[in-house]
Structure 1
Amino acid sequence: MTATKSRLRQHLYDYLTLKRRIIFIFLVSTLIPFITIILISYFTIYSILTNKIQTGIQNNLRQVELSLESSINNLNHVSQQLAFGGIVGNRLDELLSAKKPFDRSKLLSDLKEELGLITFTNPSIGLTLYYFKDDHSYDLANFGVKDPFSPQALPLLAEYSKISYYGPHVSNNRFDNGFVLSAMRKVDLPHQEEVYIYIETGFKLTQNILHNDQIGGTTSHVFLDNHGRVAYSDAADFQVDTLFPHFDKKQMSGTQNGYYWFREVSNQGWSIISLTAKSDYNKEMNRWFVQIGLFSLLFLGMSLFLAWLLWKMVYRPLNGFSKEIKRMAQNKVQTTAIETNIPEFDFLVAQFKQMKTQIWELFAEVELKEKRRADLEVEKLLYQINPHFLMNTLDTVHWLAVMNGQDEIDRLVLSLNKLLHYNLGKLGQTSTIQEEIEAVQQYLLLQQIRYDFMFDVHIHVDAEVLRVPVPRFILQPLVENSLYHGLDDEGYIEVDVRLTDKIDIYIRDNGAGMSAEKIHSLLHSPESAGGKVGMGIGMNYVNRMIENYYSGQAMLSVTSVKGEGTTIRLSLPFGGGNQHD
């Protein structure tokens, strides 16, 4: 996961060149105000246009609803005159009760005259007749009637106790195929129960109902009865005698089947719905979107062009800097001054020239120091003559002791010679755990002879780690620590090297122990043990050496208890480290 994130960051870094960053920042700084203005304009224009369209539709729909309500009220008023209790209704009762033909003829003539007078004085009234529900017959029609005549088949709009309203539907007038509204009211004759007055009013839905159309599209209409059933529809998605989808008496507008719809409810409970296709409804809004889109493209093109000009302005000085850096990398000195005619870049050019001069001076200084270092190396080789002379001399002493039978002196000189030969090797050179253990053994032997006291030494090393390379001098300073901090004749030193998932080296003693402050000083202070430890190389050296050699993968820790002893743990990675020759 870490490697994947690193690759993504590198890819993003390589992609975001200066040119892309300039264009991005320029676009962001110019487009954010522009987009903000567009959003504010959008919500403002959307609110204005929506209110305008909705208000226009609802106003027109309200006018239609009021006109229809007025026509229905007129139907209701005329039907009351023709019902029993009115002049015509009473004449009908007399007609139906008359026995003599003359009386019936006279009453029929008078009744037709009254009906003609009523229809003449109400020009909005169309077909009028009396319907006898028992035998499904009719009489006294003022126009010809289409056969078959069946009011029960008409779409019911609203219904009350004595009157039912139908429509819009095709007129039953034989000479009229227009759409009308109609009402059928019970006459309530004393001797006839199932007599009804049927009246139509002319209402042509084919005319442009919303003549002040606010959106310039085609509008459809749906009439609903009191229960949300479709009584009339000129939209194919809403069929007559079906319930309006998701009908809610309180909902006055919404969307359905790709339409925006608005509803007006009459005082009688029926309602009229205006349907407008979403494409027509959003026509003016879409026109505004197209205009804004074209303007946005123009603005974006101008922004990109200005960003390109800005890049060109920056590119020329940067190209000059790049050439100067390449010449300097190729050890070429540029004598011609770069002129950008931009004060900021000219200042950078001057600073670059000054930096280049300082770099050449540093190059000269480094060359001088390298020459001096080479001289010091030669001098160092000369100083190595003395250690070789010392070891050769000790070798001579060893053979003299052998020849004179001085076994203890022989053993002392031989151990000292081996230890000096190992310790006078090149610092930083790698060794092996086996060589480190052998050097520790020689050192401990010398210390026992030198101070004339005996202590037990227990050394255990797993065979698998004997040839493992390690830095030189990492065990002897740790053993020296155990020897120089409270060990006596009753003491012991245990060196235990084990292979687990790492190489764990434990050096234990039963000496006087140390305080936490002393442990910290030994590990971190380079001056802490220089005057006491035999070779002058302390634990601080070990700590720094393993940190550098194993890149932080090794660990040195010390635990000690006063009066009981000290345990040093050195944990090294198996097969790890940076080997140095």
Structure 2
Amino acid sequence: MTLKKRIFIIFLFSSLIPFISIGLISYYTIYSLLTNKIQSGIQSNLKQVELSLENTISNLNHVSQQLAFQGTVGKKLDQLLGANQPFERSYIADELKNELSLVTFTNPSIGLTMYYFKQDGSYIFENSGVKSNFSLDTMPLLAQYYGISYYGPHISNNRFDNQYVLSALRKVDLPERDDVYVYIESGFRLTQNILNNNQFGGTVSHLILDNDGRIAYSEVTDAFPRDSLFSSFAGGEKSGSLHGYLWFKETSNQGWSVISIIPKVDYNKEMNRWFVQILLIALLFVAISLLLAWLLWKMVYRPLNNFNKEIKLLAQSNAQPGLVRTKIPEFDYLLHQFREMKEQIWDLFAEVEQKEKRRVDLEVEKLRYQINPHFLMNTLDTVHWLAVMNGQSEIDRLILSLNKLLYYNLGKLGEIATMEEEIDALQQYLTLQQIRYDFQFDVKIEVEEAVLKMPIPRFLLQPLVENALYHGLNDEGFIRVNVARLQSCIEISIRDNGTGMSEETIQSLLNSQKVESRKVGMGIGMNYVKRMIETHYGNDAELRIDSVMGQGTTVFLNLPIREEI
């Protein structure tokens, strides 16, 4: 990260971290206060609405009990319906009217009251005019239990009142008639005043749910239509979010519920106002921090720029350009130290490169000298005994093959040969071994013609075949050498049916960096091949050994095809 970025970031963090910390603490504190205040107001208002509605319903129930058969008024109705004499009927009717007037007078929260005959839809003793379209089927059922049904809120059936009311329908249970009911409504504007009680200050609407969670009353019919189910009723939650509204619920003892719903915009209005103010102040702090950072950057930009140009020039080559001064003592001193360090690094690079090259060449040459003198001494010893025991023709054949093989193997270190020359040297080696041991080896070599002219490092196949001869060949054994082109590489496989090797031995041969002196064939030859392909191909070549104890061993060598190596 550049110094410029660091200066800007430090200034931003130094100014914003305290502000953000204070802002977050203030935000959560104010959010908690506002949320508790708003929710407390809503819950308090909702509880008052629920209690007021519950009291109204209880009052309707109390009054309906007086008008039922068990009450004094209900018994007079039974006498009226059973009277046959006109005078008696008139007397009982007057008493009923007086009783009803007394009941309604002593209960000012009661509105329309009457006896309703469900069979023919008629009604008597109504205390006010009844609308002509009065029908129980059109009123929303709120709850129903113990022989009484509660409706509402709904528009009053009083001809002179269009306010929302709660109503109750109770069966009179007369001995002689089964279709007589008491119908009672709450008083003038009582329900409307209850629902309009708002301590929140924002837009609050109400829903009233029946015992099954059906919406019996809705002030927001677009989002919560009447007679639909409130989707969050079954979960038992007391608050939540739905259709862009926040809702809070209170459930009465009778099982019906009152829900206050508030638009999220209104709920978050005060919080959003405070957040906008904090955001504006934060932007002002950011602007001031960036201005201060820019002024500081201008103070150091020019010397830093000169210093940067000097370092780029120094990094391009080993040549030392003229020293550029920055006019800042600290920077000039660092630049001088950098030039001295760069000169030392270039010298170290050259020295390490030379040492590494010499080390690789010496190790490879050491391995080749470890292999060739050993083989040469054994072969010359064989020539000596053949000279004593056999004729000149056999010695000539031996000497000819030996000369060809020695000429190829003792070539210049690192010299490249073709696959054809490598195969010819391998055949000369096998000829010498057959003469030496007087034994016809079952060795078959198959080479694709396409790879004969391809260049490879010399002396790769003989150490691998020699390993197979010494460690994998017996009287009934065989060796198969296959060389083929596989896409962009040369695949060489040398397979025998000897005793095989354990996995531990294979890993030791492939991964060991040291060669034990007593392992003349296997250790030295395999290590030589491994180091040779590492020197010429790096990691592009692959040496792999597959072996099964008692069945044989296969050595795979994959060399990438290159024009020059």
What TM-score, normalized by structure 1, do the two folds share?
Answer: 0.63
Q: Whose RCO is larger (CA < 8 A, sep 6+)?
A: 2
Residue in structure 1 matched with residue 129 of structure 2 by the alignment? 144
1:499 corresponds to: 483
The answer to whether the 8 A contact 1:60-1:210 is kept is no
Q: Aligned pair 1:174/2:148, yes or no? A: no
Q: Which residue of 2 aligns with 1:273?
A: 259
Cα distance in structure 1, aligned partners of 2:468 and 2:86: 151
Find the counterpart in structure 2 of residue 427 from structure 1: 413
- Cα 1:44–1:448 shift into 2, 3 Å: same
Alignment partners' CA distance in 1, 2:94 and 2:149:
29
Identity fraction in percent: 57
Equivalence for 2:322: 334
**Cα pair 1:181 1:203 within 8 Å, conserved:** no
Unpaired segments of 5 or more residues in structure 1? 1-15, 367-405, 486-490, 510-515, 560-566
Alpha-carbon contact 2:49-2:197 (below 8 Å) kept: no
8 A contact 2:214–2:229 mirrored in 1: yes
Partner of residue 217, structure 2:
232
2:141 is aligned with 1:156: yes
Write out per-residue CA displacement over residues 199-223 of structure 1, whole angstroms, 9 at most, x where no aligned residue: 2222535558354342612x22222
Residue type of the alignment partner of 1:499 = V
Q: State the 1:55 CA deviation.
A: 2.6
1:549–1:578 contact (8 Å) kept in structure 2: no
- 1:259 counterpart = 2:245: yes
Q: Give yes or no for contact 1:164–1:185 (8 Å, CA) kept in 2.
A: yes
* Deviation of the 1:171 alpha carbon: 1.7
The superposition leaves residues 256-313 of structure 1 with CA deviations (integer Å, 9 ceiling, x where unpaired) of 4443332223333333222223333343444455455555655666676677678767
RMSD: 5.7
Counterpart of 2:536? Answer: 549
Give 1:334-483 correspondences, 5 Å limit: 334-340=322-328, 343=330, 345=331, 348-355=334-341, 358=344, 426-432=412-418, 435=421, 462=446, 464=449, 467-472=453-458
1:352 is displaced (CA, Å) by 1.0
Q: Which runs of 5+ in 2 are unaligned?
A: 353-391, 499-504
Q: Is residue 126 from structure 1 mapped to residue 111 from structure 2 by the alignment?
A: yes
Deviations 1:358-381 (A, max 9, x none): 579889999xxxxxxxxxxxxxxx
Mapping for residues 10-159 of structure 1, pairs under 5 Å: 47-84=32-69, 86=71, 88-89=73-74, 91-151=76-136, 153-159=138-144
CA offsets per residue over residues 195-254 of structure 1, 9 Å max, x none?
A: 43332222535558354342612x222223333333322221444444444543944334
Aligned to 1:371: none
Whether the 8 Å CA contact 1:61–1:210 is kept in 2: the answer is: no
**1:126/1:200 contact within 8 Å kept:** yes
Secondary structure at 2:195 match in 1: coil
Task: Give the Å deviation of 1:113.
Answer: 3.8
Q: Rg larger in 1 or in 2?
A: 1
1:177: how far off?
1.4
Aligned equivalents of 2:403, 2:464: Cα separation in 1: 21
Q: Which one is further off, 470-479 or 203-212? A: 470-479
What is the Cα deviation at residue 51 of structure 1?
3.8
Shift of the 75–334 alpha-carbon distance from structure 1 to 2, 3 Å rule, reads same
Q: Distance in 2 between matches of 1:271 and 1:479?
A: 95
Instruction: Map 1:188-203; keep pairs closer than 5 Å.
Output: 188-189=173-174, 193-202=178-187
Residue 61 of structure 1 deviates from its aligned partner by 1.4
Deviation at 1:118, TM superposition (A): 3.5
Sort the Cα spacing of 1:117 and 1:211 in 2 relative to 1 into closer, same or farther, 3 A: closer
Distance of aligned partners of 1:121 and 1:415 in 2 relative to their CA distance in 1, 3 Å threshold: closer
By how many angstroms is 1:28 displaced?
Answer: 8.7
TM-score, length basis structure 2: 0.65
- Secondary structure in structure 2 of the residue aligned to 1:228: coil
Change (3 A) 1:289 1:507: same
- SS of the aligned residue for 1:77 comes to helix
The answer to which of 321-330 and 431-440 deviates more is 431-440
Specify whether residues 22 and 423 from structure 1 end up closer, same or farther in structure 2 by C-alpha distance, changes over 3 A only.
farther
> In structure 2, what is the Cα distance between the partners aligned to 1:148 and 1:434?
115
Please state how far the C-alpha of 1:57 moved relative to its aligned partner: 1.8
Taking the aligned partners of 1:244 and 1:447, their CA distance within structure 2 comes to 99
1:147 alignment partner AA: S
Contact 1:157 1:166 in 2 (8 A): yes
Give the match for residue 393 of structure 1: none
C-alpha displacement at 1:63, in angstroms?
0.7
- What letter matches 2:536 in structure 1? Y
Q: Evaluate the alpha carbon distance shift between residue 508 and residue 200 of structure 1 in structure 2; reply closer, same or farther with a 3 A threshold.
A: closer
Q: CA deviation at 1:67?
A: 1.5
Size of the aligned set, in residue pairs, is 500
